Amino acid sequence: MVMALLHLTIGNTDGGILDFIIFGVLQGVKTKWYLVPVVGAIWFAVYYSVFRYAILKFNLKTPGREEVTEDQQSEEPVVKGTNTQALKILTALGGKENIQSLDNCITRLRLVVDNMNIVNEKVLKDCGALGVVKLDEHNLQVVIGPQVGILKTQLEKLSS
């Protein structure tokens, strides 16, 4: 809406960097492409401020902001990317017998498990998981981060 109010005429349907360059910068100043970084910076500041305020004011539990209990603090930390972490995660998932399917996307392990009740969410978070999403009685996603590919490979080795 802001772009329309400013009469910016850049882009096709994607609005990506190629659209910006081809349909904006290369078309000259008639497209007002120079306003895009300005509006982007303002939108960034607005979004950041509003969401930071809401998260802190209402104590919203975003990944990584869960409450830490005393027993979690006393446990030995698990180093990400190690076989120890993979073994603990495999155990927390109920062992290799409980896993029907294991896959990953950019940041998440995507699993199909036989029994969701034996999946230990607390141990998964202690092992470095940023979050655990139970989609239904068999589908589970464990948010790990960009190193999820390494962990998936380690889990596959342990499961075979």
> 49 and 90 in one domain?
no
> 87 and 143 in one domain?
yes
- 94-114 average pLDDT score: 94
> 36 and 85 in one domain?
no
> 91 and 35 in one domain?
no
Residue 74 pLDDT > 50, yes or no? no
> 88 and 45 in one domain?
no
Residue type for position 120: N
Q: Which of 2, 18, 105, 118 is catalytic?
A: 105
Domain count, the chain: 2
> 105 and 139 in one domain?
yes
Confidence band (pLDDT; 50, 70, 90) for 95? Answer: very high
17-31, 56-70, 73-87 — which is least confidently predicted?
73-87
19-23, 32-36, 120-124, 134-138 — which is least confidently predicted?
19-23
pTM for this predicted structure: 0.55
- Residue 105 designated active-site: yes
Rg of the chain over all Cα atoms, to the nearest angstrom: 22
> 133 and 83 in one domain?
yes
Rounded CA separation 95/148 (Å)? 18
Which residue range forms the structural domain that includes residue 126?
79-159
